[in-house]
Every structure is written in structure tokens, then in C-alpha cells.
Chains A and B, each alone.
Chain A
Amino acid sequence: MTKSCETGRDLLIRDLAGELDAAGRRELAAHLAGCPGCSREHRELGETRDLLLVARPPRPGSGEPAGLWQRLEPRLDALDRERRRVRLRGRRSLPVWALPAAAALAAAGLGLWLVLGLGTPARQPSRATPERVAAAPAGESRLDRYLARAEPVLLAISNRPPGPPELAAFDRSAERRRARELADEAAAVKAEIAGSGRIATLELLSDLELIFLQVANLGEDQYRDGMELVRASLDRRAILFQVTLEGMRRDGDRETGGRADRPLRRPRELRASLGARPHSADPHSEERRPC
């Protein structure tokens, strides 16, 4: 292609798009007169454009799609309700939990787990889990196991695009079931380590319980937007980072026998942990990701 053909191409496209002024049209005509290749292309593409313009579907009429607002408004209402619910729960979770916890600490370990259990935000009855009443020392390793299970699920929630509307209800119900289990488990683990005085860990477990409860309670009609709000909530509270941090603390505790004067994790491990997508550690975390 010659230099003048390059210029001619630009003019040609603008002409096909209907955006060439009179001077441009004169310039294009001069080029086409001396260039059979560009001239033929201009003619052929012009014919194609004209065919496509004739064959395009009619412009939608006024008010189309008919009944759009009537279909849309209930969904906007649902979105508003969900936003209010998330805001309300976000505000309630800490104060309601934190006040009895502080009181119990001041009372020198007077059955703290019981207070926490009563102070937990209202939620649906959990399944009976035998581990839930296990002795306190088991709580630490159970916390490890719980965090290992929760992390890939959180990553999956955080990373994936909104689910397709046609997604099978079966997959969603599996996800909701899984989320409910993780919410119940968060409450159970919290109760077990309540006497340890690990306030940051207990707060994290409260946040996880709330996040998973939100997922578990999402209705079909508000699923996509609800998940978006959950993701926003995850981001806002840096939940994934906190889970990773908790893992680091615990790794460090194990390596140092409780001393915190050694590096907890190498930077590469930290990056991998923060950036990695879940693998096969938890099959449930992958089950809904759209292809």
C-alpha cells in the first residue's frame, strides 16, 4: 500500500461512515481516480454498507421494550431492600457483639463464649454439629481448618463475574447450603475460642459469619445484585486480606512457638496467597463459576 493509499484508506472509512466533509470528498475522489484497487474497495464496501442499512431491523418504537419499567421496578425495590439490609447488619454486627464481649472480659472470663453466643446477630437455626460442643483446645485446629475452607470460597466469590441469569437453581441452592454451613461453622468456632481473648480473630469470624449468611439468604430474584453487594462488602472490609493475615499469624505462632519475632511468611507466599485463585482445595468453591 502506498502512502497515498494509506491516506486514501482513512478518507474511505470516514466516507463509508458518512463523516467526510466536502473537501475530504474531493480529496478522496482524486485518489480513487488514480487508484483502481482503492476505487474497487470503495465501491464494494459501499454496496455492502447499503445492503446492511436496508436489511437492518426497524428502529424500536416509542416505549419499547413495552412494560420495561413495570418489570424493572420490583427488581429495583429488591435491590434497595438488600442494600438497607446489608447496611443495617453491617452496623449491628459489631456493637451488638462487642459490648457483651467487653463486659465479659471485664468480668474475668465468666463464661465468655456464652455471652458471645447470645450476642451474635440473629440468624437462622444452625444444624446440630457434634464438634460445636468440643472442648476448647480443639478450637485452635478447628479454626485453622475453618479458615482453610473459607478462604477459597471467599476468593471464588470475590473473583468471579456475576453469575449468568440462566444459571441452574440447583447450583445456587448448593452454594447457599455451603454458605450456611460456613456461617454456622464460624459461629461454632467463635464460641470455642471465645475465652482466648483473640479479639481480632473473633471479629473476623463475626464478619465471615455475616458474609456467609448474606450469601445463604440471597433470594433468586435478587441474586446477581445481592452477590455484587456481598463482593463490595468483602472489598470494603478487606476480608480476604484479614483471612490471609490470620493465617500468617497462626503460621508464625506455630513456627515461633508463640513468639512474633520471626518473619511470618515469605513475600512470595504472601503474594501467592493474596493473588491465587482457588484450586482443588474446595470443590464447592468452583462449582458455580461460569465458563
Chain B
Amino acid sequence: MGTDGDRRGLVERARTGERWAFREIVESHQEKLLYLALGMTRSRQDAEDIVQEAFLKAYSSLDRFRGDASLGSWLYRITVNLCIDHRRRRRPQVPLVAAEEAAADRGDGFPEPADEHPAADPGRYAGSRSIGRRVDRAVLGLTPLERSVFVLRFYNELRLKEIARVLERSEGTVKNMLFRALRKLRRELAELAPEAGREVTG
């Protein structure tokens, strides 16, 4: 992906209209943004749409990229915001659970990664379609901030400090959000873990 200097150079060139430079930016970030959007929306189609929107938004606001955040953090932030807006727009139209049930019935709402990418990690989802759905539903039940922290840490593998920069929050807030997210997920998924049935204290 090159050094920070290279990337700053790319932004400068993209800003002056050199299309190849923007293409480099897109191609070096698209998978990471897709993984983030997939984790946030749990829908492959929505995630792809959001990634496209994120790059379009980045292109139209390159002039506003200040350069004090890294390019990656800036793109992550744009994507997180689009994912949150996306959920806000969808929520009032159809109740969340009903929409997800309907989507799951159609087989196109929740990603079924093992089916889509059998070669990527054979056996990961084998015999566990329902677990995948339970996890998706539990993650979607988190608040947008909790979900962002959870996905950025455990999917995109950003460090807590980097997540704080992306979300423009303090590291303490990020830690708190991660703790709350794990507690909520524990409650939702307790029976899937070995400690079945136990209440999480606190």
C-alpha cells in the first residue's frame, strides 16, 4: 500500500484530477471498506452499494481531506457514517426483525459467507447457518457506535487507538463501547457459548 508520503501524494494527484491516482486509492482500500460495511450491515448487496457511495463521497470531498488523519481512517469514517445513515433510512420503513426474517427467507438479505465463498474458509460456517444468522442479528442489535467499534476491532483489526481516531472519540469511550458490545452479544448468544444459560453479571 506504500508509505504515508506515497498516499499523501496520491491524494494530491487525485485532487488535481489525475484519475489513475484515485483508482489507486480505490483499489488499495476497497476490500477493507467492504469488510467494514459487511460487518455493519450484514448484507452483501448493501455493503457493496455503500462502498461505492463511500468512494464517490470521498472523490467529491477530496478538497476537504485535511491530511491530519490518515487516508485509511478518513475512508473508514466515511463508510461508518454511510452505514449508520443506511440503517437509519431503512429502519422506519420495515421493522428490523421482519425485514431480516424476510430477507433470510429470500436468501439474499444476510450474507451466507460459506455459500458465497466456499473456498475462502471451508467448514467455518458448515452446519452453522443458523448460528451465522443469530450472530448477524445480535450484531445488528448493537447501537451504531457499539457496532462500529466491534467491527473495526474484530473484523478490520484496528487497534483501539486507531478506532478512536476513525470515530473521533476518546480511547476511553471506545473501550467502553467495546465492553458494552461484548456484554450485549454475550446476553444474546449465551446459549451458543459453553457457559450456556448463565447471566452476565452487572
List the B residue with the shortest CB-CB distance to A59: B35
A37 an interface residue at 8 Å Cβ cutoff? Answer: yes
Given contacts A57-B113, A58-B113, A72-B26, contact A17 B51 (CB under 8 A): no
- Segment of A44-52, A112-120, A205-213 in the binding face: A44-52
Q: Is the CB of B182 within 8 A of A40?
A: no
In the docked arrangement, what's the CA distance between A16 and B150, Å?
A: 11
A17 to chain B, nearest CB (A): 6
List the A residue with the shortest CB-CB distance to B185: A48
Given contacts A44-B195, A61-B120, contact A76 B19 (CB under 8 A): yes
Given contacts A59-B35, A71-B52, contact A79 B59 (CB under 8 A): yes
A203 an interface residue at 8 Å Cβ cutoff? Answer: no
Given contacts A58-B117, A58-B124, contact A51 B189 (CB under 8 A): yes
Question: In the complex, which of the residues B34, B60, B154 contacts A64, with contact meaning CB atoms closer than 8 Å?
Answer: B34
Q: Is the CB of A47 within 8 A of B194?
A: yes
Q: Is the CB of A165 within 8 A of B55?
A: no
B13 an interface residue at 8 Å Cβ cutoff? Answer: no
Given contacts A13-B179, A48-B185, contact A58 B120 (CB under 8 A): yes
- Segment of B66-74, B99-107, B128-136 in the binding face: B128-136
Q: Is the CB of B60 within 8 A of A225?
A: yes
Q: Is the CB of B124 within 8 A of A54?
A: yes
Q: Is the CB of A69 within 8 A of B198?
A: no
List the A residue with the shortest CB-CB distance to B156: A59
| Chain B residues within 8 Å of A73, by CB | 19
A290 an interface residue at 8 Å Cβ cutoff? Answer: yes
A81 an interface residue at 8 Å Cβ cutoff? Answer: no
Question: In the complex, which of the residues A54, A68, A80, A291 contacts B51, with contact meaning CB atoms closer than 8 Å?
Answer: A68
Given contacts A64-B34, A72-B56, A76-B19, contact A45 B154 (CB under 8 A): no
| Chain A residues within 8 Å of B200, by CB | 41, 44-45
List the B residue with the shortest CB-CB distance to A76: B59
A123 an interface residue at 8 Å Cβ cutoff? Answer: no
Q: Is the CB of B53 within 8 A of A65?
A: no
List the B residue with the shortest CB-CB distance to A82: B60
Q: Which residues 167-200 in B have Cβ within 8 Å of A in the complex?
A: 175, 178-179, 182-183, 185-186, 189, 192-195, 198, 200
List the A residue with the shortest CB-CB distance to B31: A60
A164 an interface residue at 8 Å Cβ cutoff? Answer: yes
A67 to chain B, nearest CB (A): 10
Question: In the complex, which of the residues B19, B30, B182 contacts A45, with contact meaning CB atoms closer than 8 Å?
Answer: B182
Given contacts A55-B132, A79-B60, contact A68 B53 (CB under 8 A): no
Given contacts A10-B175, A59-B31, contact A69 B26 (CB under 8 A): yes
In the docked arrangement, what's the CA distance between A164 and B82, Å?
A: 10
B39-72 to A contact mask, C-beta < 8 Å, 1/0: 1000000011101110110011000000000000
B105 to chain A, nearest CB (A): 20
Q: Is the CB of A225 within 8 A of B56?
A: yes
In the docked arrangement, what's the CA distance between A224 and B150, Å?
A: 30
In the docked arrangement, what's the CA distance between A11 and B66, Å?
A: 34
Q: Which residues 138-172 in A have Cβ within 8 Å of B in the complex?
A: 161, 164-166
| Chain B residues within 8 Å of A165, by CB | 49, 53
In the docked arrangement, what's the CA distance between A68 and B35, Å?
A: 14
In the docked arrangement, what's the CA distance between A198 and B51, Å?
A: 49
A53 an interface residue at 8 Å Cβ cutoff? Answer: yes
| Chain B residues within 8 Å of A49, by CB | 154, 182
B139-162 to A contact mask, C-beta < 8 Å, 1/0: 100000000001001110001100
B201 an interface residue at 8 Å Cβ cutoff? Answer: yes
Q: Is the CB of B192 within 8 A of A51?
A: yes
Q: Is the CB of B52 within 8 A of A72?
A: yes
| Nearest 9 A/B pairs, CB to CB | A58-B120, A57-B113, A47-B193, A48-B186, A65-B48, A60-B31, A55-B135, A60-B34, A45-B182
A/B interface sample: 6 pairs, CB < 8 A: A41-B201, A44-B193, A45-B200, A61-B117, A63-B27, A68-B55
Partner-B contacts on A (CB < 8 A): 9-10, 12-14, 16-17, 19, 37, 40-41, 43-45, 47-49, 51-65, 68-69, 71-73, 75-76, 79-80, 161, 164-166, 224-225, 228, 290-291
Known: A68-B48, A68-B51, A161-B85. 18 other contacts (CB 8 A): A9-B179, A16-B179, A19-B160, A45-B182, A47-B194, A55-B128, A56-B155, A59-B155, A61-B120, A65-B30, A65-B52, A68-B26, A68-B52, A68-B55, A73-B19, A76-B59, A164-B89, A165-B49
